[in-house]
Amino acid sequence: MFITSLVFYFSNSPVAFPFASLAGYIPAEELLLSVLGMFDLFTIWSYALVAVGLQKAAGASKRASWIGVSVLFVFMLVLSYLSGLYQVFIENIQ
């Protein structure tokens, strides 16, 4: 978020452009836009660091740590999709 905020501040752009995620490059409606926002360079890097941290600090096996992080990523994708679905639902009510 910090790096994205710096890029937005120094670019003098009127619109915040998510340069590190697929949401900035693939045009989509709100429902898929929230899911594409999860495919962010920094988000994926943080999940990779969590997997390596589970291996090193917790002593988990490589397979178990990557499976756990993958399940967490899929869970966050589902939550992101539901969030986009809720936003579309709210917009349709108004």
What CA–CA distance (Å, rounded) separates 56 from 15?
41
Look at the block and give the residue holding tokens 């988990």. Answer: 60
- The whole-number average pLDDT for the span 67-71 is 96
What CA–CA distance (Å, rounded) separates 47 from 62?
14
Is residue 16 pLDDT above 70, yes or no? no
Is residue 15 pLDDT above 70, yes or no? no
Q: Write the pLDDT tens digit of every residue in 24-34.
A: 778 888 778 88
pTM of the model: 0.77
- φ/ψ (deg, to 5) at 40: -105, 145
CB 54 within 8 A of CB 60: yes
What CA–CA distance (Å, rounded) separates 50 from 58?
11
